[in-house]
Amino acid sequence: MIESDKILMSVRNLKKYYPIGSNFFKSSDEYVKAVDGIDIDLYAGKTLGLVGESGCGKSTFGKCIIRAIEPSAGDIKVYLDREYSIREMRKSEFRTFRRNLQMIFQDPNSSLDPRMTIRDIISEPIKANSSLSKNQTEEKVKYLMDIVGLNPNQLYRYPHAFSGGQRQRIGIARAIALRPKLIICDEPVSALDVSIQSQILNLLLDLQSEFGLAYLFIAHDLAVVKHISDRIAIMYLGQIVETASAGTVYQDPRHPYTQSLISAIPVPDPTIKNERIILSGDVPSPIAPPSGCHFHPRCPACFEPCAETAPELKETDAEHSVRCHL
Ligand code: SF4
């Protein structure tokens, strides 16, 4: 059981709605409900894996909680030297908030400025947030390059001189430069070769144990988050449909959507027969989500109340919550 006094971030009823077709003269009454009322806690030094299909709102959620985009509603509390709430945060407090929350992006090719040297890329947040001298900053950049597995002598090279995996290491060095408490990892390995993915995952685990980092690890593939997550949340059409410890999600998935994701993970042992659950249809539009349970048009277990009544996310066991009538 995770101790409640280790909560680092508490997210309540977070929503991000994008109006459609609004302009200066008319406001819209139609919205894309990218994030639709998420309640979740993140714990210090732990990893929450957030998994769902493309377009389910997981990256929007990640950007909302570091306020890279402004949520439409809800509250986020962060427990640092004291409690910070995005509802009441002053401009001066936002600096402390943002220093402690960093992001690693999916595509290391487009997230690094090709005109900047590695020294400039990694030192940018250090210069903006400290009064270190030029030499001290350079020493710190070399130290960061070393701990993420890059050669510090390559300080003055440009991103194009590095491989995809090395570029992701540069992004990680930049993200940890200010010693944040939480890093949002937005599909950080999905653009990399399989052989490189495990190296980056191991690096993230090493950095977590060295610096006590918490991660929100966003992925569309349950197999990727298996080894890095302490807890896993499954997201569908802007809502969390199941949360539990990583072990429980794999051994005892309760929501039919989670069960279908688990069934899609390849089993390396050819003697074990894995029955794949194939979902029918595409993910519905978040502009007009299905009535009742948003998953009901695709759910193999759909029964009478599902199309009428929306299920709540309810705790079924300790630390295991499911949004389903079953
Ligand atoms: Fe399926 Fe009904 Fe559960 Fe939704 S509430 S997941 S439709 S069984």
pLDDT of residue 275: 79
Any atom of ligand 1 within 6 Å of the Cβ of 283: no
How is residue 207 annotated by DSSP?
H
**Segment 235-254, tens digit of pLDDT:** 999 999 999 999 999 999 99
pLDDT value for 1: 45
Q: Which of 236, 261, 291, 295 to mutate to test the pocket of ligand 1 (most atoms within 8 A of CB)?
A: 295
Atom of ligand 1 nearest to the CA of 294: 4
Say how many Å lie between the CA of residue 277 and the centre of ligand 1. 15
Is any atom of ligand 1 closer than 6 Å to the C-beta of 296? yes
Contact 301 CB / ligand 1 (< 6 Å) = yes
The strand pairing partners of 103, in sequence order, are: 184
User: Do strands 320-323 and 239-245 pair parallel, antiparallel, or not at all (unpaired)?
Assistant: antiparallel
Residues in the chain: 326
Cβ atoms within 10 Å, residue 91: 6
* CA dihedral for 248, 250, 256, 257, sign (positive or negative): positive
Average pLDDT over residues 7-17: 95
- Asked if residue 254 has its Cβ within 6 Å of ligand 1, the reply is no
Cα(282)–Cα(110) distance, integer angstroms: 29
Residue 105's SS3 state is: coil
**Which region, left, alpha or beta, applies to residue 83 given φ > 0 means left and ψ of -120 to 50 means alpha?**
beta
Instruction: Confirm if 87 and 11 have CB atoms less than 8 A apart.
Output: no
Looking at ligand 1, which atom is closest to the CA of residue 300? 1
**Which residue's CA is minimally distant from atom 5 of ligand 1?**
324
Report the separation in Å between the CA atom of 40 and the middle of ligand 1, taken as the mean of its atom positions. Answer: 21
d(C-alpha 256, C-alpha 324), whole Å: 8
Q: How far apart are CA 62 and CA 158, in angstroms?
A: 28
Tell me how far apart the alpha carbons of residues 28 and 228 are, in angstroms, rounded to a whole number: 41
Whole-number Å distance between alpha carbons of 188 and 85: 28
* Tokens (6 digits) for 56: 């389910």
When pLDDT is cut at 50, 70 and 90, the band that residue 287 belongs to is confident
Banded model confidence at residue 24, pLDDT cuts 50, 70, 90? low
Distance 24 CA to ligand 1 centre (A): 41
* Pocket of ligand 1 contains residue 293 by CB under 6 Å: yes
Q: What is the pLDDT of residues 169-213, one digit of tens each?
A: 999 999 999 999 999 999 999 888 888 999 999 999 999 999 999
Query: Is the Cβ atom of 253 under 6 angstroms away from ligand 1?
Result: no
